[in-house]
Amino acid sequence: MTTTDIDGAVTERVVRNDGFEIAAYEYGDPAAETVVLVHGWPDTHHLWDAVVPLLAERFHVVTYDTRGHGRSTRTDRAADYRLEALASDFFAVADAVSPDRPVHVLAHDWGSIQVWEAVCEPGADARVASFTSVSGPNLDHLGKWVRAKLSRPTPRNLWQPFTQLLSSGYTVFSMTPGLDRIFRVVAQENRWQRIVSIMNDTPAANISLGPTFRRDAIEGLLIYRANILPRMLAPRERRTEVPVQLIVAGRDVAIRPAGYDDAHKWVSRLWRRDVPAGHWMPFSHPELLATATTELIDAIRDGVTPRGLRRAETDGDKGRFEDQLVVITGAGSGIGRETARAFARRGAEIVLSDINLDAAKETAELIVAEGGAAHAYQLDVADEEQVRSHASEVGTVHGVPDILINNAGIGQAGGFFDTPSAEFDRVMRINLGGVVNGCRAFGAAMSARGLGGHIVNVSSMAAYSPQQGFSAYSTSKSAVFMFSDCLRTELAGRGISVHTVCPGVVHTNIVSTTTFSGVSAEEEKRRQARYDELYRRRRYTPDKVAEQIVRAVERDRSIVPITPEARLQLQISRFAPAAFRFVAARVKLT
């Protein structure tokens, strides 16, 4: 998404309403569709400094300082902060900047709360075309949600309002005269930037504060005193016909995600995106907010809903993986092929690759014949540039994957001294390098998108089972195991789960194509046939592995040993590693 330099492209205006002057700032083409951005406490229009450039290339973007903040008229009366008055200001700004057609809205925190008040007014859908709400609920809806939970006092129904009460505990200080002075301790620019930076896992440099921050942080607390108790103690029935998109922060310190669960009762058209992020997403996830807002605007205007927005629809029964994009390497046969089919049967769109393009196309044809959607590509996972190019093409044509499965790999056997260095390196480049290349190329895009996701790295029981004759293969799979552990820790804060799948004895064509070093071609073929037959008799087929991979993603399992022997050896490696090494030193499988 392209950006605009907002410093030299802003038009300022003053909107007057009910004795207040509201400072508004306009960007982009005034003839384009208008998007109004509304901030909350303790921010000003500077909250949107990183979002405005992402929207201004396509839209007429308007930000404004809500009353009592920034350069707008100040007041020390709590009554002036009532939601009805703030909603009136919003309508006044919308009418001033877009008098001839309805506006789209992106709002955060108390900005979202006041826009909720506005869109629930009769006839609001004629003035507001869409509303993307970030970390700010309708207080009446929240109050009714609490009452509904408490009216059916199950442990879960009691726990959810209780955790919301704990999250909202700070409002006691906000609403109590005298206690609000406590906020003077944190109402220092550097201190507040550090606090927000920690809560949102984003650099302090991303936190944009206006020059009036200290005053806004203290005086703006009146908004709590004016609205919290009246709305929570006597919630009203408030409905809207305006299309609403909820951006729900999973790590929000103020509003728990469960508090939005009943929103569908009062909204005719609702989408919900749960994001692994903190409260101040305009600072930490500006691209996500701009993209989500744009997708909703385009869907309403054109009637074509992109995959990300379809996935966020709240009406209807959707399958677990419906409208999700799954990217799978090594999907021309075996575990990769069956995993692609398993996810496709559950509604996912599949992008599959293999070094053998004909095999990849065959898998895609099988999926299409079963009523699914699949796209085949040729890919050598050991070639980093090729993987990067593939990821770029996939991102452009299909989008960012929700699930990445690094499955491509090869088998190799033979004594260490019989294995040429070139062969050892080849195994490492494909089995380990292919996983690393896939995670780097696709994982970076998944992380930047901000919506979380899943990465499945196929390792092996050999990763924790030392044995003679498999030094290259076992080393590569052990490296995948540890790499996945490390990556899991790095991506946990971004909502991306990393699953390490460790198959045991599974009958796939990897056995019949395994390279045996240090033997003649005839002996290699004999061993390939022998072990292929042994694996066939084991009767553990790739489709069983595929089902366990799907289950691992559904249940968010980190380490997934597949087959009884894989589970047993994982426990032995943890609790009696010396015993396994003793046996391995005396038993040669090849």
* Higher pLDDT, residue 14 or 167: 14
Q: What is the per-residue pLDDT for 116?
A: 98
| Whether residue 200 is found in the same domain as residue 344 | no
Nearest alpha-carbon partner for 382 in 358, 360, 353: 353
Query: Is residue 554, in this structure, part of any structural domain at all?
Result: yes
Same domain? For 340 and 216 the reply is no
Q: Strands 20-27 and 11-17: what pairing? A: antiparallel
Domain count of the chain?
2
Look up the CATH number of the domain holding residue 487.
3.40.50.720
Q: Which residue has the higher pLDDT, 540 or 397?
A: 397
d(CA 590, CA 588): 6
Report the residue count for the chain. Answer: 590
Measured CA distances, 578 to 466, 482, 559, 583 (Å): 11, 20, 22, 9
Query: Can you tell me whether residue 377 is helix, strand or coil?
Result: strand
The residue among 105 and 319 whose pLDDT is bigger is 105
- In 352-499, which residue ranges form alpha helices assigned H by DSSP? 357-369, 384-397, 421-427, 433-449, 471-491
Respond yes or no: is residue 473 known to be catalytic.
yes
Q: Percent of the chain scored above 70 by pLDDT?
A: 92
Q: How confident is the model at residue 566, as a pLDDT?
A: 87
In the three-class reduction of DSSP (H, G, I as helix; E, B as strand; rest coil), residue 372 is classed as coil
Q: Are residues 249 and 347 in the same domain?
A: no
Examine the domain organization and report whether 289 and 357 are in the same domain. no
Check if the beta carbon of residue 325 is closer than 8 Å to that of residue 391.
Answer: no
Please report whether residue 190 resides in a domain.
Answer: yes
> Is residue 2's pLDDT more than 50?
no
Q: Which of 176-180, 264-268, 271-275, 367-371 has the lowest mean pLDDT?
A: 176-180
CATH of the domain at 269: 3.40.50.1820
Q: ∠ at Cα 425 (424, 428), nearest 5°?
A: 90
Determine, yes or no, domain membership for 422: yes
Least confident residue range of 183-192, 435-444, 492-501, 532-541: 532-541
Which DSSP string do the residues of 551-562 spell out, in sequence order?
A: HHHHHT-SEEEE
Structure pTM? 0.82
Taking only the tens place, the pLDDT of each residue in 370-427 is: 999 999 999 999 999 999 999 999 999 999 999 999 999 988 877 888 888 999 999 9
Across all residues in the chain, what is the average pLDDT? Answer: 90
Here the tokens at position 349 are 């769109």
Residue 3 has pLDDT above 60, yes or no: no
Same domain, 265 and 383: no
Instruction: Choose the final residue of a domain: 311, 342, 359.
Output: 311
Residues 367 and 276 in one domain: no
Residue 4: its pLDDT value, please?
A: 45
- The DSSP line for 228-290 is HHHHHHS-----B-S-EEEEEETT-SSS-GGGGTTGGGTBSSEEEEEES--S-HHHH-HHHHH
Instruction: Single out the catalytic residue among 25, 81, 377, 473.
Output: 473
Which of 359-386 are b and which e, b meaning 16 or more Cβ less than 10 Å from the residue's Cβ?
Answer: bbbebbebbeeeebebbbbbbbbbbbeb
Domain span at 487: 325-584
Q: Which of 7-11, 88-92, 117-121 has the lowest mean pLDDT?
A: 7-11
Percent of the chain with pLDDT over 90: 64
Rg over alpha carbons for the chain, rounded to the nearest Å, is 28
Q: Phi and psi dihedrals of 73, rounded to 5? A: -60, 135
